[in-house]
Amino acid sequence: MRSQSYYNRKGLTVKDLVTTGIFTALFFVTMLVGGIVFAPNPVLTFYMPLGSALLGGPVLMLLIAKVPKRGPIAIVGILCGVIWFATGMHWAMDLGYIIGGIAGDLIAGSKNYKSKVFNVLAYICISLGATGTYICYFADKKAWSQYMLNGGTAKSYIDTMNSAAQNWMLAVILGGTILVAAFSAIIGLKLLKKQFEKAGITA
Amino acid sequence: MSAIRFDPRTKLVLLFMCVLCTMFAPSLTYELFLVILAAVFGLLSGQYRYTFFGLIAYCLIFLATKLSIYHLTGIWQAIFIAFFGLVNKVYPCGFMAGIMIATTKTGEFMAALYKIHMPDSFVIPFAVMMRYLPVVKEDWNSITDAMKMRDVSPSLKGTIMHPVMTAECLYVPMMMAASNTADELSIASVTRGIENPNPRTCLTKINFSVKDVLAVCFILIYFIIGLLIRRGLL
């Protein structure tokens, strides 16, 4: 059959693609639910990646277990990046998810999607995508708000900004995201073992 | 005035230009005019209510930003300026994206994606995802109803008292339902010929016309003006 070979050549069947799509929807919702608490709050907005990373682990772990082939993790990352782009999020975050997804796929793929540690690492990679915006902010704090001040940046403002947003915050955001993502993915692996493997819905 | 239908690809280009404009925005006023341009686009596309409320919301944000720059001091000023910096970078694009999503059907969007030669491994998951997002909400409602019947509260209090229990009760049915739907949906789409290797057809005509070129020209000019102001040439 011609159509069958057409899809087998790529390695992913229609079923795999549909599964990936559905789990991306779930994954996206978990990011939204986790991040929504942080994003609109001026004080907490910097810790948004931590919230987004908290809930998605089990979803991605089950997806890897269901479709252990090259591609799905990258597709999840790319789709999330595109959707965030289409909802108008900051470009660094969109790009972060795409890069994180592809990197995660390569990492998990290097052990054929069987190694638990590497799957957890893949989830951490994807979660780090959300930190793109903040890396951008810390890379050039002055440029971030300068356009709002109409060129003339007040000296007092720069001083307070340097004291309020110190560089250790970036370390906290990155480190915190890694920890939260690892926690979430490990919970996911536990759930997988306890519930889904028994039910026989993993591949 | 009847709504003008723009090509989905034009909308994508406009959104991308919006992102570029906010990236290189030279001043807050520039952002305000960008939002106004997006509002004009919204009115042309026939999204009157959305445009109206979107504009009012941005005016409030604009005022709040100005207030926080000139009337706050110390650490609060720093925090709020960083926060509003993000909001101002995101809002015009989000506004534009809202118009795009409201005026484009998923089928049209898929046809446009195929026209710009996106591979199947991107378009199929994308379409399935758009289709499944509302279902997640429905599933969530029925799961929380079921949880209440079995005395597991999905509220904040219940989550704090029994975190493991609540998480398991939410995740397990949610993901079971998802994986069952994945099976059903792939069977349904295969029987409807998704594996057909021929190019996909679409009932809605999708092609560029004068209005699309005009819209893209407008935003390009605006972007160039922004760059010139930024370099101090204007």
Distance from CA of A111 to the nearest CA of B (A): 22
pLDDT at A104 over 70: yes
Q: How confident is chain B (234 residues) per 10-residue block, as mean pLDDT?
A: 77 85 80 88 86 89 82 72 77 85 81 82 85 83 82 70 77 85 86 79 76 87 85 69
Q: How far apart are the first and last CA of chain B?
A: 36
Task: Check residue A158 and give its pLDDT.
Answer: 59
Contacts of A10 in chain B (CB under 8 A): 120-121
Beta-carbon contacts below 8 Å between A and B: 187
**No. of H helices and E strands in chain A?**
11, 0
Q: What structural domains and CATH numbers belong to chain A? A: 4-198 (1.10.1760.20)
Residue A68: both structure tokens together: 């252990």
Give the tens place of pLDDT for each residue, A111-164: 888 888 888 888 898 888 888 888 877 777 666 666 555 544 555 555 666 666
- The predicted complex's ipTM stands at 0.78
Q: Give the closest of A59, A145, A160 to B85, CB-based.
A: A145
Gap between the Cα atoms of A115 and A117, Å rounded? 6
Residue A133 or residue A25, greater confidence: A25
Task: Check residue A4 and give its pLDDT.
Answer: 47
User: Would the CA dihedral through A88, A70, B110, A55 be positive or negative?
Assistant: negative
DSSP letter, residue A192:
I
CB–CB of A148 and B65 under 8 A?
Answer: yes
Gap between the Cα atoms of A185 and A61, Å rounded? 7
CB–CB of A19 and B81 under 8 A?
Answer: no
Residue B198 or residue A74, greater confidence: A74
Give the tens place of pLDDT for each residue, B3-45: 778 888 888 888 888 888 887 777 788 888 888 888 888 888 8
Alpha helices in B150-162 (DSSP H): 156-161
pLDDT band at A102 (very low <50, low <70, confident <90, very high): very high
Task: Check residue A6 and give its pLDDT.
Answer: 46
CB–CB of B85 and A163 under 8 A?
Answer: no
Give the tens place of pLDDT for each residue, A136-151: 777 776 666 665 555 4
- Mutation pick from B70, B79, B171 vs chain A, by most beta carbons of A within 10 Å, is B171
Task: Check residue A7 and give its pLDDT.
Answer: 47
Residue numbers of A between 20 and 49 with CB closer than 8 Å to B: 20-26, 28-29, 42-43, 45-46
Gap between the Cα atoms of A81 and A94, Å rounded? 4
DSSP, collapsed to helix, strand or coil, labels residue A73 as: helix
State how far Cα A152 lies from the chain centre. 37
0.95 exceeded by pTM: no
CB proximity list for B171: less than 8 A, separation 6 or greater = A58, A191
